[in-house]
Amino acid sequence: MGFILWHVGRIEDLHTHDTLRRGEQLWVTQKWYEKLGLPRDDNGFGYTPEQVGQFPAPPLESILDYMASVRRETLDYLHTLTEAQLDERPFPDQPERQVGPILVRVQNHECHHQGQIDYLKGLWKPSEK
């Protein structure tokens, strides 16, 4: 669950800062990779099941702090958008990628992973005392 939660934050950060704002991710500018003790260039894509199982999940509070930082920036960005900007194309060489659909993709990504976390929570049985 820690891996999924961290990955969700990383992808929102990637899309908000790198893709849409065309800037550096908070993961780098605020040195979250150092704070969480994880590789600078990692975002959770391409992991094998074995790698996920060996992922050194940082403490939940630290992941949530990172995600809160990302979410604040995401909401700040969203509050500046106009309806016309939803049709803009951040990548001229990829005309099929518009701001609006990118935002929908991020939301869908987060919803899918929330479902995975909910499923795992349902399977988890705390040890009985």
Whether residue 77 lies inside any domain: the answer is yes
Q: What pLDDT band is residue 129 in, cutting at 50, 70 and 90?
A: low
The enclosing domain of 16 has a CATH number of 1.20.120.450
Instruction: Provide the residue range defining the domain that includes 26.
Output: 2-123
Number of domains in the chain: 1
Q: What pLDDT band is residue 128 in, cutting at 50, 70 and 90?
A: low
Whether residue 25 lies inside any domain: the answer is yes
Whether residue 57 lies inside any domain: the answer is yes
Residues 21-70: tens digit of each pLDDT: 999 999 999 999 999 999 999 999 999 999 999 999 999 999 999 999 99
Whether residue 129 lies inside any domain: the answer is no
Whether residue 62 lies inside any domain: the answer is yes
**Is the separation of the CB atoms in 19 and 90 below 8 Å?**
yes
What letter does residue 18 receive in the DSSP assignment? Answer: I
Q: What pLDDT band is residue 92 in, cutting at 50, 70 and 90?
A: confident
Q: Tell me the residue length of the chain.
A: 129
- Measured between alpha carbons, how far is residue 67 from residues 70, 84, 95, 104, 128 in Å? 5, 28, 30, 18, 31
Rounded to two decimals, what is the model's pTM?
Answer: 0.88
d(CA 78, CA 108): 16
pLDDT value of position 124: 83
The single-letter code of the amino acid at 110 is E
Whether residue 128 lies inside any domain: the answer is no
